[in-house]
């Protein structure tokens, strides 16, 4: 049975080279996940793959059913979740194609169902307050850092992830605010995914792929052609990392 799940973000709607064994549709109390989970072997490891935006990349970040996705993974026995995410870089050292392993996050999203602990869903439990001091699993983060250390990839082992609502990109003034808040990268899917994983006691960490410089930090405008070109590089870097990471997990 697989204990590791990989959540694919923008640019990672499949794992090329994965030896697919089967796909399984999982129905949850919170609705349908982004798609069926794919079981297979990748780099010698049994893994489960789930594309966050759907297999056709058709679900925008603010409409992803994060609760169904995470509940689904726990339900099938997953204990560790590695989430890939495309981000914009705020910190000047973080260049397109780089990989970032964030250690903290700030949530700027709104209106997204963000907890499993709602009135009526846990009648036999008191109100729950999870500890979220460190939002990412340090065990998995250490594995990411150790794996990257034996490659020539450009990686950043820390950074504060700003989770914004989307689906539009941010204004320059908004990115200025994020920088003042201490954020190094900005994306649209980091929350509530990380918090829901913590509620389910899953070991969860993010590998962020820098797709572009955030607004006001690079070219006058951000084009999808630029993002797609950078993501191709970043995805290849992510695959290189996975080859070293999976044996460690």
Domain membership flag for residue 121: no
pLDDT at 122 over 60: no
What's the pLDDT at 145? 98
The answer to the question of residue 23 being in a domain is yes
Specify if 89 maps to a domain: yes
Task: Report how many domains make up the chain.
Answer: 1
Secondary structure of residue 112 in the 3-state scheme: coil
pLDDT given for residue 125 in this prediction: 63
CA dihedral of residues 71, 74, 76, 80 (deg, nearest 10): 140
Pairing state of beta strands 185-187 and 160-163?
Answer: parallel
Residue 120 lies in a domain: no
SS3 26: coil
50 assigned to some structural domain: yes
Q: Which residue has the higher pLDDT, 191 or 247?
A: 191
What pLDDT was estimated at residue 124?
A: 60
Has residue 123 got a pLDDT over 70?
Answer: no
Least confident span in 42-56, 157-171, 201-215: 42-56
The range of the structural domain enclosing residue 57 comes to: 4-112+134-248
Q: Which residues contact 231 (CB under 8 A, 6 or more apart)?
A: 10, 11, 86, 209, 211
| 45: β partners | 42
- Ramachandran angles phi, psi of 171, nearest 5°: -85, 165
Q: Is residue 126 part of a domain?
A: no
- Report if residue 213 sits inside a domain: yes
CATH number of the domain bearing residue 102: 3.40.50.1580
Band (pLDDT 50/70/90 cuts) for residue 11 is: low
In a domain, 230, yes or no: yes
Confidence band of 121 (pLDDT split at 50, 70, 90): low
Contacting residues for 208 by C-beta, under 8 A, at least 6 apart? 84, 85, 86, 87, 99, 100, 101, 102, 159, 161, 185, 187
pTM, full prediction:
0.93
């Amino acid at each position: 049975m697989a204990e590791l799940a990989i959540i694919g973000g923008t640019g990672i709607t499949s794992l090329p080279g994965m030896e697919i064994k089967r796909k399984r549709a999982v129905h949850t109390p919170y609705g349908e996940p982004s798609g069926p989970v794919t079981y297979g072997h990748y780099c010698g490891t049994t893994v489960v793959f789930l594309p966050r935006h759907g297999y056709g990349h058709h679900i925008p970040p603010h409409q992803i059913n994060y609760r169904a996705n995470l509940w689904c993974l726990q339900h099938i026995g997953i204990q560790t979740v590695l989430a890939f995410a495309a981000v914009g870089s705020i910190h000047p050292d973080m260049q397109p194609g780089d990989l970032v392993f964030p250690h903290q996050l700030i949530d700027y999203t709104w209106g997204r169902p963000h907890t499993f602990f709602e009135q009526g869903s846990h009648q036999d439990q008191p109100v729950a307050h999870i500890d979220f001091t460190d939002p990412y699993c340090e065990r998995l983060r250490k594995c990411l850092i150790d794996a990257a250390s034996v490659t020539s990839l450009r990686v950043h082992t820390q950074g504060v992830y700003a989770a914004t609502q989307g689906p539009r990109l941010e204004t320059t003034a908004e990115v200025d605010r994020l920088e003042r808040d201490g954020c190094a990268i900005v994306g649209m899917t980091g929350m509530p995914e990380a918090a829901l994983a913590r509620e389910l006691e899953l070991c969860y960490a993010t590998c962020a792929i820098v797709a572009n410089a955030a607004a006001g930090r690079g070219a006058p405008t951000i084009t999808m052609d630029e993002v797609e070109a950078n993501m191709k590089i970043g995805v290849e870097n992510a695959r290189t990392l996975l080859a070293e990471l999976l044996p460690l997990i």
